[in-house]
Amino acid sequence: MEKAGTRKFAVLLCADESEHMKQAYGGYLKVFMGLLGEEDETWHVYRAMHGELPCMADVHTYDGFVITGSCSDAHGDDRWINDLVSFLRSLDSMKKKVLGVCFGHQILSRALGGKTGRAMKGWDIGVTCIHFSPSAIKLLSSLHIPSRLPVIECHRDEVWQPPPDAEVMACSEKTGVEMFRYGDHMMGIQGHPEYNKDILRHLLDRLLQRNLIQACQAETAKASLEAQEPDLEAWKRLCRGFLTGQLSW
């Protein structure tokens, strides 16, 4: 039973969950709730990859939506991807809060008129330090977000060109659009603020087994995990602040 007056959010799941993710963490919904959720909130999951999306009659009951990562390409033409693009455009017209992570960042950019594709510099896997723009530093100052912020990354696609009228908030050595915002209601993050080191290590093993990355790439990624820590608390403040309207745009 949902309590009247409490916040309500939906996770749009764009990947199949591994057995490790389900057994160790209870699935991606629990992982995102661990980063973003608070007591007395309601969180639902929709398996967008399998055609599940909230019906439009229910959309108004949600305070925000989170789009997860995926093994699929945001520039792909699968039916579920096209359906998700259409759904995100509807959310934009309703000015609903939407946070996109990794694939979610890319598909959100596509839905809003940006361009995505294979990353110019190849895979980015491991802990990466992103650099905020001067305007983003000012915007995030109330949340005490540092100007350089480590985050776990795992992607071979990227946003080539952000949507018209979007603001690029951060970049990194490999990726020109690490974060963007569109108005005050949509934000994309290329990294995985919800990941911890254990999740990435198991993902690296899966990528190796599927021959999607080389052993040397996995070793470099593992070395980066030892070199620096992702700032999970800062990412929690940032993402939570965005979803709950704590930022002064």
Task: Pick the catalytic residue from 153, 154, 158, 192.
Answer: 192
Task: Pick the catalytic residue from 158, 178, 194, 239.
Answer: 194
Helix/strand/coil for 172:
coil
- The DSSP bridge pattern shows strands 64-67 and 97-101 to be parallel
44 flagged as catalytic = no
Task: Pick the catalytic residue from 102, 153, 154, 155.
Answer: 102
The secondary structure of 45-102 as a DSSP string is EEEGGGT----HHHHTT-SEEEE---SS-TT---HHHHHHHHHHHHHHHTT-EEEEET
Which residues make Cβ contacts (< 8 Å) with residue 126, sequence separation at least 6? Answer: 152, 153, 200, 220, 221, 222, 223, 224, 225
- Let me know: does 43 contact 29? Beta carbons within 8 Å: yes
173 flagged as catalytic = no
144 flagged as catalytic = no
Residues with catalytic annotation?
102, 192, 194
